[in-house]
Chains A and B, each alone.
Chain A
């Protein structure tokens, strides 16, 4: 039992971004567990670009399972394939992205392997030979450090918490594994996938315009969408608008929703509950617009405007348009 195995998946024919982030984490901790970084690539197609991307970033052996059921959110299929790869590769540490499927299969994989488990990691480190997992707790009010005390261990990592790794080309190998899967035998089945994402994917947007309770209703989000459009960004929200049904739940940013790390995060009418801040604190520049000068959001913002967004946004949109020559 040595080394780190990354559970990698494919998005649009290429290696998913969160898989690449896992590789970065794996490279950080591999020295502590005596071995290299390997991957289990679980996909509906052979996906040569994904294999290539793994080798380009320091992954040695790619254990590949290709099966039509490995896609479309079929957690039980991913779980079976991941389990088989882990049993073949016998790693000390398994890294799983804490995305829709990963947060379902990570703990279950640990259970099946009798492995140690740490979930929702925001950072991975090594100290005194031990693998340390950092994660936010208490709605982002505190940070916990957990030390992995036995192997094998499964660690799930929050998407967008780690940066993508620098290239480190490796002469790698591919080992194809066959996994027997039948849709009828799986306990769950995804019937339908309903998309309600903005045109620019929220998690990949470089600019995010986000609204909170202070927006007051679904109408106000139209103004935010207009600003996002002129900035070339995406619209997000804190929890209250999603709870109230003003916006789809998939727009929600925060501990419960998505984690984003854009270049610019514009928080409009967002009070700045730690729950929300946990999902956006990694943004390069944070701008807050809020009527309440005491709002906690100003504690994390770099630039602040105290005022009513209805009066600020229209001239802001006009000025941005003018500066961009639109």
Chain B
């Protein structure tokens, strides 16, 4: 069993608002001098992969497409958590590519890794939230696809996934190979690497592949990003003052005036 976890590097989404800016040239968030981290759900995807590894002895490869010079911390974290090896597809344009553009590159990299049974990703990236890569990647690899997965078990050569749904969750069985996108759940809270894991991670193999060596071009999303802007805030909050009981009463009366009761 070989599992590939696709990771994405983003500017820390918790960055204070005053440090947030759009680069007018790239129409993307300015990265210069800002902390870079793994995208929000990527560590959950890694955790799911590592739980399968713990149960079945699967091999886990971390794959990341990003400018190689910037990505050391994220790769070290993935290896310290327990990934067996890592591949960096070195692409200076990586941060600007839309999902549809990135998928042929990721698919080519995954094919180059040989037989892969499961591909895991975060359910969405913290920056562009397209949710497009997992289903597109499934098509490109000829794999089954289940998105927003909270937990995964393997039964008789199939993946059984809990898929988050509008009304609760679905238990979905998928044949392998499968691409699963992972959401956060109590059951996949990312493990914290121990000191010996962090030390051990330094000996694990990391390969760097220049993106051009993949022999494929980025895909064409067929859409152009024409504008990205920070919206102006328009609402002004009216505060209800007083003791808690007075505040509560004032609120109840306002709700009645708004015909909400």
Chain A residues within CB distance 8 Å of chain B: 73, 75-76, 98-100, 103-108, 110-112, 115-120, 132-133, 135-139, 141-150, 153, 187-197, 201, 203, 207, 231, 239, 242-245, 248-250, 255-256, 258, 263-264, 275, 285-288, 296, 298-308, 311-316, 319-320, 323-324
A142-B229, A191-B160, A264-B258 known; A249 vs B185 contact (CB < 8 Å) = yes
Is B72 positioned at the interface, with any CB of A under 8 Å from its CB?
Answer: no
A319/B223 in contact, CB under 8 A:
no
B146/A245 in contact, CB under 8 A:
no
Extra inter-chain contacts (16) besides given A245-B186, A250-B164, CB under 8 Å: A100-B166, A111-B136, A117-B221, A137-B127, A137-B128, A147-B224, A193-B169, A194-B169, A231-B255, A239-B184, A287-B251, A302-B238, A315-B244, A319-B249, A319-B253, A324-B261
Which segment of B73-81, B88-96, B137-145, B198-206 sits at the interface?
B137-145
A106: which B residues are within 8 A, CB to CB?
135
Is chain B's interface secondary structure helix, strand, loop, or mixed overall?
mixed
Which segment of B60-68, B111-119, B170-178 sits at the interface?
B170-178
**Number of interchain pairs (Cβ within 8 Å):** 264
A189: which B residues are within 8 A, CB to CB?
172-173
Closest chain-A Cβ to B177's Cβ sits at a distance in Å of: 10
A188/B256 in contact, CB under 8 A:
no
A188-B146, A193-B170 known; A116 vs B247 contact (CB < 8 Å) = no
Contact pattern, B 220-260, Cβ under 8 Å of A = 1, otherwise 0: 11111111111101010111100011011101111110101
**Closest residue of A by beta carbon distance from B17:** A141
A192: which B residues are within 8 A, CB to CB?
170-171
B260: which A residues are within 8 A, CB to CB?
207, 231, 263-264, 285
Closest chain-B Cβ to A180's Cβ sits at a distance in Å of: 19
A196/B173 in contact, CB under 8 A:
no
B130: which A residues are within 8 A, CB to CB?
119-120
**Contact sample, A vs B, 27 pairs, CB 8 Å cutoff:** A73-B172, A98-B131, A104-B147, A107-B100, A107-B131, A110-B136, A111-B136, A116-B222, A116-B223, A117-B132, A119-B99, A137-B127, A142-B29, A142-B231, A146-B224, A187-B174, A188-B172, A189-B172, A191-B160, A192-B170, A197-B167, A263-B260, A288-B237, A302-B237, A303-B251, A312-B247, A319-B249
State A146–B99 Cα separation when bound (angstroms).
14
B13, B127, B163, B237: most-surrounded residue (chain A CB, <10 A): B237
Interface size class, chain B: 35 or more
A302: which B residues are within 8 A, CB to CB?
235, 237-238
A243/B135 in contact, CB under 8 A:
no
**Closest residue of B by beta carbon distance from A101:** B165
B189: which A residues are within 8 A, CB to CB?
243
Is B3 positioned at the interface, with any CB of A under 8 Å from its CB?
Answer: no
A138-B13, A187-B144 known; A108 vs B225 contact (CB < 8 Å) = no
Q: Which of B169, B240, B247, B258 contacts A196 (CB 8 A)?
A: B169
Chain B residues within CB distance 8 Å of chain A: 13, 17, 20, 22, 27, 29, 99-100, 123-124, 126-132, 135-136, 138-140, 143-148, 150, 160, 163-175, 178, 183-186, 189, 220-231, 233, 235, 237-240, 244-245, 247-249, 251-256, 258, 260-261
B163/A100 in contact, CB under 8 A:
yes
Closest chain-A Cβ to B230's Cβ sits at a distance in Å of: 5
State A149–B20 Cα separation when bound (angstroms).
29
B249: which A residues are within 8 A, CB to CB?
315, 319
B29/A138 in contact, CB under 8 A:
yes
The 8 closest A-B pairs by CB, nearest first: A116-B222, A187-B144, A319-B252, A311-B244, A315-B248, A316-B248, A111-B139, A196-B168
A249/B139 in contact, CB under 8 A:
no
Q: Which of A143, A149, A323 contacts B228 (CB 8 A)?
A: A143
Closest chain-A Cβ to B13's Cβ sits at a distance in Å of: 5
B222/A117 in contact, CB under 8 A:
yes
Closest chain-A Cβ to B169's Cβ sits at a distance in Å of: 5
